[in-house]
Amino acid sequence: MSTTVPTSMRALMLVERVQSFAQANLAACFEVQNVPVPVPQPHEVLVKVAASPINPSNFSQLQGYYGNFGNMPLPQVTGVEGSGVVVAAGSDAHSSLVGKRVGTIVDPAGMWAEYVAVPAVSLIELPANATFEDGASCFINPLTAVAFVEIAIARKVKTIIHTAGASALGKMLVRHAKEFGVNVIAVVRRQEHVDTLCAEGADYIVNTSDDDWQKQLQKLATELEATIGFDAVAGATSGAILSAMPPKSELFVYGALSGEAASGVSALDLIFQGKSLNGFWIEQYLANRGAGVAEMTAKVANGLLTTFKTNVRVSYPLEEAAAALLDYAGNMSNDKVIFKP
């Protein structure tokens, strides 16, 4: 490892499981600790972190509900994607990466820190005109949007239904789907979300604050043959969306923003309409995609400042973790909140 890299660093650690992001003692769940700088293994590089976003999945992670996070002991490292500069390589084979400005992802966590060791294959080199803020969110949301369109194309489906339609991912999906001639019916909660998506060029939007939103969705889904849906909300929304979809439709639940289990699914829809409800996890999709992930990341790299652009609203230091999480929880559709370690 280069002698210019320190031996210790600041890292945001989860010291107590979060019960609610509105709890009075939220700040007590986190602690910035001095920990050793990770030493990159032969297949890894060391990245000095510049920016790392808060994503909805981070909330589940901090509560212990995401993947294997509930089984991991506390204190626990946090954060899964971000951007920065490669400052060291674990082997000469990756020495050419040193000095590169990159976006990256770490498994299972550790990005909310000053340094992180990541596989050399888990990098997207940032374009010369891209900032670290531009590159902070170049994995989870963009690759999820690419995956949704890939699934639609593979099933020869021309229209996707997507809940949390005005989220950063929702905006990307509208833009990316258009490039492949795939429609998106965006399901949102408020009129301001409708206005935001109209500005993004969305053609089909359903606002759940309208009394007849399910009838609107059913009409659109039937006319546009929307037989695939992706639901980030869960709870009763899952059942309502699936009920509005045509026969032989498939709804993928990939999030639980409602904090509830998927519910309200009609047994009659499953039995007599041939509908189905499944889960979707981007990590598993990428694992199954294998070598094809390189094709996906190339799409993201080429569209990082256009199709897959993410706007950053505000940044926080690691020491203000509770304030940052509360800020993001207050309006997840209003651009990104990031940490700058």
Tell me the H-state helices in the chain. 56-63, 132-135, 140-154, 168-179, 191-199, 213-223, 236-244, 267-272, 282-289, 293-302, 321-330
- Buried (b) or exposed (e) across 62-87, using 16+ Cβ within 10 A? bbbebbebeeeeebbbbbbbbbbbbb
Q: Is the pLDDT of residue 284 over 80?
A: yes
Asked if domains 8-138+310-339 and 140-283 share a fold, the reply is no
For residue 68, give the H/E element and its range.
Answer: none
Long-range CB pairs of 321-324 (<8 Å, 24+ gap) are 321/12, 321/27, 321/30, 321/32, 321/112, 322/26, 322/27, 322/29, 322/30, 324/54
Q: What is the pLDDT of residues 210-222, one digit of tens each?
A: 999 999 999 999 9
Over residues 286-295, the mean pLDDT reads 94
Over residues 226-235, the mean pLDDT reads 98
CB count in 10 Å sphere of residue 124: 21
* Domain spans in the chain, listed from the N-terminal domain onward: 8-138+310-339, 140-283
DSSP one-letter code for 246: P
Q: Is the pLDDT of residue 332 over 90?
A: no
Q: Where does 140-283 sit in CATH, by number?
A: 3.40.50.720
Say what the pLDDT of residue 3 is. Answer: 53
Q: Are 337 and 310 in contact (CB under 8 A)?
A: no
Q: Which residues contact 334 (CB under 8 A, 6 or more apart)?
A: 313
Q: How far is 218 from 224, CA to CA, in rounded Å?
A: 10
Q: What is the pLDDT of residues 122-143, one digit of tens each?
A: 999 999 999 999 999 999 999 9
Q: What is the dihedral of CA 326, 331, 336, 339, to 10 degrees?
A: 0
- Residue carrying structure tokens 């998506």: 197
Q: What is the pLDDT of residues 54-112, one digit of tens each?
A: 999 999 999 998 888 888 899 999 999 999 999 999 999 999 999 999 999 999 999 99
Q: Where does 8-138+310-339 sit in CATH, by number?
A: 3.90.180.10
Number of helices (H), then strands (E), belonging to the chain: the values are: 11, 16
Q: Is the pLDDT of residue 228 over 50?
A: yes
Query: pLDDT confidence of 1, banded at 50, 70, 90?
Result: very low
